[in-house]
Amino acid sequence: MEFQKLFDTYSPFVKKFILPIVLATLGVIFFVYGLIVLLGSSKSASNSVVFQPASKSSQEQKSTQTITVDIEGAVVKPGVYKLSQDARMQDAFISCGGLSSSADRNWVAKNINLAVKLTDGAKIYIPKLGEQTSSSSSYSSGVALTSSLININSASEQELDSLSGVGPATATKIINSRPYGSINDLLDKKIVGSKVFQTIKDKISVY
């Protein structure tokens, strides 16, 4: 009976304001649902793994490594230069300002390979016009060179054949595998074996 009384009492009020009550109820439901979703997503975001880019990739680190070369003779700015480890002979000439006016350009054109890759500790010497020099003394990797050394980048088949352990077939392989940035390329390119290399290493050179 009490329930019936309450129903009869508030029934007209409910019927009068039914629409606002329904809208308010729906609003509360959506609000609570949105709050639950928001809190859930915030918690998920805080637990998610964040991938941050590395400060430098291995390739970028590799590109920052340098080699040191000594450039002397008839160049604009002789001296010791730090270059990229992938530097070529042309990069060395650019660093020192190029050939000087006294450089023997004809000799350079015949004996210098601008595409050859440089090695750390290399020494490059450019002769002046009229200066007597051998092609074997123009480029070395820290090895004292003399005119008696055979330049594997420019020697003829007969000169290479004169080396102990190097026959006509090996001489041809050496010529066909040019250019060389270091005498060690004979081993790296498998042109000669280690035993032959040990025999001839003090008798050969590159630029």
Tell me how far apart the alpha carbons of residues 26 and 50 are, in angstroms, rounded to a whole number.
37
CATH of domain 63-133: 3.10.20
Q: Which amino acid is at 21?
A: I
The pTM of this model reads: 0.41
CATH of domain 147-207: 1.10.150.320
Please tell me what DSSP assigns to residue 141: S
Tell me how far apart the alpha carbons of residues 179 and 160 are, in angstroms, rounded to a whole number.
15
Please state the three-class secondary structure of 146-171 as a single string: CCCCEECCCCCHHHHHCCCCCCHHHH
Tell me how far apart the alpha carbons of residues 146 and 135 are, in angstroms, rounded to a whole number.
10
pLDDT in tens, the chain (207 residues): 555 555 556 566 556 666 666 677 777 787 777 778 777 665 554 454 444 555 555 555 544 688 988 898 899 999 999 999 888 988 999 999 988 999 888 888 877 888 888 888 888 888 888 876 654 445 554 433 334 578 898 888 888 988 888 989 999 999 998 888 888 899 998 999 999 999 998 888 875
Selection from 81, 151, 93, 157 nearest residue 120 by Cα:
81
Selection from 106, 95, 97 nearest residue 75 by Cα:
97
